[in-house]
Amino acid sequence: MMKSGNKKYIDVNVIDSPMGWGKTSWAIQYMNSHPENNYLFITPFLTETERIEESCPDLDFVRPNRNKGKGRKSSHLKTLLLEKQNISSTHSLFMNIDDEVLDLLRISNYTLIIDEAFEAITIYNMFSNDDAIKVGEKAASNLARADLRTLMNKGFVDFDEKTRAVHWIDSDNMLWKYGRLINLAKRGLLFATSELSLVWTFPPEFFQVGIFKDVYIMTYQSKYQLQNYYFGHFGIPTKTWYVSNVNDTKEKFGKKYSLKPYGDGSHEMDWKNKIASKINIVDVEKMNRVGAYSKDDAGHAYYGALSKRWYSRNPDKLKKIRNNTINFFRYHSCTGAKESLWACFKSDRDKVSSRNLTTRNWVTINEKSTNEYADRTALAYLVNRYSKPEYSHFFSDGEAGETFDRDGYALAEMLQLIFRTAIRNEKEIWLYIPSERMRNLLKMWMDGKK
C-alpha cells in the first residue's frame, strides 16, 4: 500500500493509538499550542465538539448551526469557512462535502483533525429506503443489479475495467429516475464491483494538495479499517504515528503529548499485557455452543454463527442467546443493570431483549468515540462481525487489488466497542463473546498475535 511520494495528494497523518492513550488530549494540546492555524475538527458526537470548544477557549470554535444557515447546517459551514473561523462538527455533516466547500477550503488553509475513521465507502442504494423496506434488503439489491445490467445493455452506462468507475455515456437521455446516479458518476464517485453492486466513495480530491495545510486522523487498528483500504485504492499517501506522553505539571492535562513514528507496534506490548490481565472472557462450552464452529453435510467448515445472516436464518436460537446473556450477567460478571451492556444487530435487538434483558442496556455494535459507558464492567458481545461483501469485492477488484482482511476488520470493530467500557480506564471487565471466531480473534490480540 502506498505510503508516500504521490505529489497529487497530501500526506495523511494517521494517529494509531489505543483508546484512552490521549489522542484527543494531544489534539487539544496541539491546537492550543498553534493558535495561528485555522482548524476543522470532526468527531462522531456533539458532546465531543463541546469538549473541544471548552478545552480550547481562546480558539473560539464554532459549530455549524441550522438556524444560522437558513435551515441548512451546510450553508452555515460555508459561511464559517469564508470567515476562516475554527470549526467543530460531526462526521454526518462532514460526509456531505460538496464542490463549493472544496473551493472554500482551497483558499482557507485549514488543518483538518478527524476523530475516528470516517465513512470512506458505502453501498449506493439505487432505490429509496422506503422502497427497500417494502421489498426487503436482498430483493432490493437484486433489483438494483438487474437495473444496472439493463442500463449497461442499452448503452446508458459503462465502467472502467481497471478502476471500476461508473460512467454515464448517454448524454441525450438523462432519465430523471437516475439523476442522483448520473451526478455521482459524473463526479467519479460511483463504482461497480465484479458482482455489479454499486458503491459510493468519499471524494478523493478532498485529500489533494492545496485543500488542507495538514490532515490528522485519530483512530486505532487503522490498517484493518475500510478507510485504510480507501487510501491505498486511490494512492493517497499515509504516515502512521502513535501518541506518547510524559508527566508535565505545566500542561493542561498534567502530561505533555507528542507523536512518534508507529514502527512495528511493539510500543503497545506492555500496555496490552496489562490490559489482557484485566479482561475476563467467559469460556463455558455450554454457553458458547451457540456460536461454535460447525461443519455442513459435505464436511465444509462453517464460521458464520451469530453473523447477520445467521440471525435471520435461526430465529429459534435467539431465546438461547437471551438466556445465556441473562445468566452471564447474573452468575459470571455478577453485575446489575447499571454496570452491564449487551450488543447485537439493531434489526435483532427487540427479538433478543426481554423483561430481564432490557434495551436500556443495549448498545449499537458500531459505537465509537464516547466515554458514556466507561463505568460498565460487563459486556455481552453477541455478534460475529463481517464487512459488507460489496466492500471486499470493490477493494479486491480495483487496479491496486488489495486483499481485504475480514478478520482484522472484525477485530478492530469489536475492540472499539470493548473499549467503551471500564477497560479504557484499566479497570477489570467481564466479557461474554459466544462467537468462537470473535472470541479467538480477541485472544490473539491479547497474546500480541493480531
> Radius of gyration over alpha carbons of the chain, in Å?
23
Q: Are 310 and 347 spatial neighbours (Cβ–Cβ below 8 Å)? A: no
Polymer length of the chain: 450
pLDDT for the residue 6? 46
CB of 259 within 8 A of CB of 241?
yes
Q: How far is 319 from 352, CA to CA, in rounded Å?
A: 7
- Cell output for 122: 458505502
Contacts 24+ apart (CB under 8 A), 45-48: 45/90, 45/369, 45/370, 46/90, 47/370, 48/24, 48/115, 48/369, 48/370
Along the 450 residues of the chain, how does pLDDT read in single tens digits?
444 444 799 999 999 999 889 999 999 999 999 999 999 999 988 888 899 999 999 999 999 988 887 878 889 999 999 999 999 998 888 877 888 999 999 999 999 999 999 989 988 887 665 555 555 667 767 777 888 888 888 888 888 877 888 988 866 666 667 788 888 888 888 998 877 888 999 999 999 999 999 999 999 999 999 999 999 988 999 999 999 988 766 666 678 999 999 999 899 999 999 999 999 999 999 999 999 998 777 777 788 999 999 999 999 999 999 999 999 999 999 999 999 999 999 999 999 999 999 999 999 999 887 888 999 999 999 999 999 888 888 887 655 556 789 999 999 999 999 999 999 999 999 999 999 999 999 999 999 887
Look at residue 250 in the predicted model and tell me its pLDDT. Answer: 65
Q: Residue 118: phi, psi to the nearest 5?
A: -90, 165
What is the maximal distance between C-alpha atoms in the chain? 70
Exposed/middle/buried for residue 1 (C-beta within 10 Å: 0-12, 13-18, 19+): middle
Considering only the top CATH level, what class is 12-120+206-263?
Answer: alpha beta
Query: CATH homologous superfamily for 275-446?
Result: P-loop containing nucleotide triphosphate hydrolases (3.40.50.300)
**Which is it for strands 279-281 and 87-90: parallel, antiparallel or unpaired?**
unpaired
The pairing of strands 255-261 and 238-247 is: antiparallel
- List where CATH 3.40.50.300 sits in the chain: 275-446
pLDDT digits (tens, 9 = 90+) for 210-253: 999 999 999 999 999 999 999 998 899 999 999 998 876 666 66
If one counts every other C-beta atom within 10 angstroms of the C-beta of residue 210, the result is: 12
pTM summary value: 0.88
- Could you give the C-alpha distances from 329 to 137, 335, 361, in angstroms and in order? 34, 6, 12
* pLDDT value of position 135: 59
pLDDT of res. 66: 86
pLDDT one-digit tens code per residue, 57-76: 999 999 998 888 787 888 99
Report d(CA 344, CA 291) in Å as an integer. 13
